[in-house]
Amino acid sequence: MAKIKVNGREVEAPDGANLLLFLNDTLGLNIPHYCFHPALEKVGSCRMCQVEFVMRRKDPDGKESVRRVLGVSCRETVRDGLEVETHGEAARRARKEAMEFLLVNHPLDCPICDKAGECRLQDYAYQTGQLEGRTIEPRRKEEKLVDLGEVILLDRERCILCTRCVRFFKHFEGRAQLGVVERGDRSHIAAFYDQPLTGNYQGNLADICPVGALTLKKFRFKQRSWDLTPVPSICPLCSRGCNIFVDVARHGVVRRIRPRLEPEVNGYFICDQGRLEFDDLNMVEERLRFARVRREGRLVERPMEEALAEAARLVREAGEGLLALASPFLTVEEGEAFLALTEKAGFKGFWSPPPTGLGDRHLRTDDPCPNRRGLEKAGLQAVHKEALAAAIPSASLVFLAGERILRLLPPEVLSLCAVKHVILLERVLGGLEGAVQVALPGASWAEKSGTFVNADGRKQRISPALRPPGEAAPDGRILEEIRRLVLLQGSGKEEEK
């Protein structure tokens, strides 16, 4: 620990820590900064984090002389004897002037800018309190809509040239794709040879851009940021288990998924699949809203209680003939409930899809199961295609449970199921209408709480961001209810209704 002096007060700080991070995160001084990002190289180009360094020196004749120097705090490390003034007259004025220069050519786009509400430039402009510009020259006109590939749009007028995006590709991905071209007041951000951006991490540019220059195509003009409620959760698309926020709009629609800081798993970033593939959470029409039961050869919508009782009867009658297959999307708790329900089943396990081949050396893994370790620990076996194809013909009843199980199972397995009696616990009916005896409306990962265990064995909690539609309920609740009914029916105390 080093002893430093901040605004005349002595504090202890970890030796070698970044001064700006220490001032902001530990002391809560809220010093503005644009070009600095904890995950990227420090360049000190925006000059917004200037503080005053106080240097004291004893002259040979014993007199003490004091020199005050302005400097950026983001490139300074904490060391013994450091003395800074963060909110003195000179530091404040330096920051205010830097801010004014950044705003000279910034367009007044806030009403139509997707970043408004979470924009650092907007926040600090209000903090410095100078709400009207002093320039009389017309603002610079630049290209407002530059297509940077499939994910990102660039607005050069809004850009403040902090070069976070340039450094992101250089240091995180290790492959530069963006650069600052030309010099002086003509410098601007451009992709090399105007090629579209590639790679699986482009979406992070929209997060690290401190202004609205780089925005997501998918989020463009969809929702104002202050209308979104962030719900902390875990990304279920691979076994990494990245920490995310699910941003939900007022009417219960997921509008955006963005990373949540977790240094041990994903740091500040997530991949583009996790960020952009959330459309099925907002599915409305295909969605199974009420339970369906086969009556006189036709699937009809029935109350949940009736469907649960019917499912329990089928499970109990099937006994050893039951083949129970869970989706890898089940949480640990649901896996345990599934195991308890199917203890008599002749064949049970969770479906283990083949590796996707989408893995890379950063975050994305090859395994598409978000909870493989958790389900294995709960006692469920991973089931592969050959074992499943061999077991289905001898089963009398197939129980498919969990989100996306129909989408993950290969078509040959589904066609084997199609000639059996099937109990389905899913969000959609897709493809098995002819075989399903009871269809129970399940919930997606964004509609339930529970635990996922990622590839490194780290337990992480998901929390509900949406409400399931109609009578749909989290899978765990349904599984436990069926088990209760199975036990009740087995003990002869059948409920009278």
Partner 1 sequence: MSGYDQVPEAARPFLGPTPSGKPVPVKVLRKDRLDWKEKVALIEIFKGMGFTLREMFRPRFTIQFPEEPFPRHPSVKGRPVLAKNPDGSIRCVSCGLCEFVCPARAITIDPGETSDPIQREPRDFQIDMLRCILCGMCEEACPEEAILMSDELLMATDARPKALHHLEDLLVPVEKLQERIDYTKRMYRKWNRPQS
The answer to whether 433 contacts partner 1 (rule: CB under 8 A) is: no
- Cβ–Cβ under 8 Å, residues 32 and 41: no
User: At its nearest, how many Å lie between partner 1 and the CB of residue 99?
Assistant: 17
Q: What is the DSSP string of 276-326?
A: H--GGGG--SSS--S-EEEETTEEEE--HHHHHHHHHHHHHHHGGGEEEEE
Residue 267: DSSP 8-state: B
Q: How many CB atoms lie within 10 A of CB 162?
A: 25
Q: Looking at beta carbons only, is 213 or 443 nearer to partner 1?
A: 213
Reduced to 3 states, what is the DSSP secondary structure of residue 272?
helix
The answer to whether 118 contacts partner 1 (rule: CB under 8 A) is: no
Q: Looking at beta carbons only, is 193 or 221 nearer to partner 1?
A: 221
User: At its nearest, how many Å lie between partner 1 and the CB of residue 131?
Assistant: 7
Q: Looking at beta carbons only, is 136 or 145 nearer to partner 1?
A: 145
Q: Which stretch binds partner 1 (CB under 8 A): 80-88, 107-115, 190-198, 317-325?
A: 107-115
The answer to whether 134 contacts partner 1 (rule: CB under 8 A) is: no
Q: Which stretch binds partner 1 (CB under 8 A): 164-172, 176-184, 223-231, 329-337?
A: 223-231
Among 54, 70, 116, 304, binds partner 1 (CB under 8 A): 116
User: At its nearest, how many Å lie between partner 1 and the CB of residue 221?
Assistant: 5
Among 68, 93, 140, 144, binds partner 1 (CB under 8 A): 144
Q: Which stretch binds partner 1 (CB under 8 A): 55-63, 218-226, 253-261, 351-359?
A: 218-226
Reduced to 3 states, what is the DSSP secondary structure of residue 248?
strand
- Cβ–Cβ under 8 Å, residues 423 and 398: yes
Q: Which stretch binds partner 1 (CB under 8 A): 35-43, 216-224, 273-281, 433-441?
A: 216-224
The answer to whether 222 contacts partner 1 (rule: CB under 8 A) is: yes
Q: Which residues contact 470 (CB under 8 A, 6 or more apart)?
A: 289, 290, 441
User: At its nearest, how many Å lie between partner 1 and the CB of residue 122?
Assistant: 13
Size of the site for partner 1 (CB under 8 A): 16
Helix residue ranges, H only, 319-454: 332-341, 372-378, 385-391, 405-408, 411-417
Distance CA(441)–CA(10), nearest Å, equals 61
The answer to whether 193 contacts partner 1 (rule: CB under 8 A) is: no
The answer to whether 150 contacts partner 1 (rule: CB under 8 A) is: no
Q: Looking at beta carbons only, is 7 or 223 nearer to partner 1?
A: 223
Among 66, 136, 145, 284, binds partner 1 (CB under 8 A): 145
User: At its nearest, how many Å lie between partner 1 and the CB of residue 109?
Assistant: 9
Distance CA(34)–CA(48), nearest Å, equals 7
Q: Looking at beta carbons only, is 155 or 173 nearer to partner 1?
A: 155
Q: Looking at beta carbons only, is 62 or 138 nearer to partner 1?
A: 138
Distance CA(78)–CA(53), nearest Å, equals 12
423: phi then psi, degrees, rounded to nearest 5: -105, 130
**For residue 262, what are the β-bridge partners?**
267
Distance CA(119)–CA(101), nearest Å, equals 17
Distances (CA, A) of 182 to 44, 98, 189: 20, 22, 9
Among 66, 131, 136, 284, binds partner 1 (CB under 8 A): 131
Distance CA(83)–CA(65), nearest Å, equals 14
The answer to whether 284 contacts partner 1 (rule: CB under 8 A) is: no
Distances (CA, A) of 448 to 178, 391, 411, 460: 40, 31, 28, 14
The answer to whether 226 contacts partner 1 (rule: CB under 8 A) is: yes
Among 60, 62, 111, 184, binds partner 1 (CB under 8 A): 111
- Cβ–Cβ under 8 Å, residues 216 and 152: yes
User: At its nearest, how many Å lie between partner 1 and the CB of residue 181?
Assistant: 22
Distance CA(497)–CA(305), nearest Å, equals 10
Q: Which stretch binds partner 1 (CB under 8 A): 176-184, 186-194, 220-228, 318-326?
A: 220-228
- Give the CA dihedral 230, 235, 240, 241, nearest 10 degrees: 60
User: At its nearest, how many Å lie between partner 1 and the CB of residue 381?
Assistant: 48
Q: Which stretch binds partner 1 (CB under 8 A): 219-227, 285-293, 397-405, 449-457?
A: 219-227
13: phi then psi, degrees, rounded to nearest 5: -135, 150
Residue 376: DSSP 8-state: H
Reduced to 3 states, what is the DSSP secondary structure of residue 116?
coil
The answer to whether 227 contacts partner 1 (rule: CB under 8 A) is: yes
Residue 52: DSSP 8-state: E
User: At its nearest, how many Å lie between partner 1 and the CB of residue 194?
Assistant: 18
Distances (CA, A) of 65 to 10, 54, 60, 62, 82: 20, 10, 11, 9, 16
Distance CA(209)–CA(339), nearest Å, equals 46
Q: Looking at beta carbons only, is 156 or 289 nearer to partner 1?
A: 156
The answer to whether 224 contacts partner 1 (rule: CB under 8 A) is: yes
Among 16, 28, 129, 138, binds partner 1 (CB under 8 A): 129
User: At its nearest, how many Å lie between partner 1 and the CB of residue 222?
Assistant: 7
Q: Looking at beta carbons only, is 116 or 429 nearer to partner 1?
A: 116
The answer to whether 3 contacts partner 1 (rule: CB under 8 A) is: no
Q: Which residues bind partner 1 (CB under 8 A)?
A: 110-112, 116, 129, 131, 144-145, 155, 220-224, 226-227
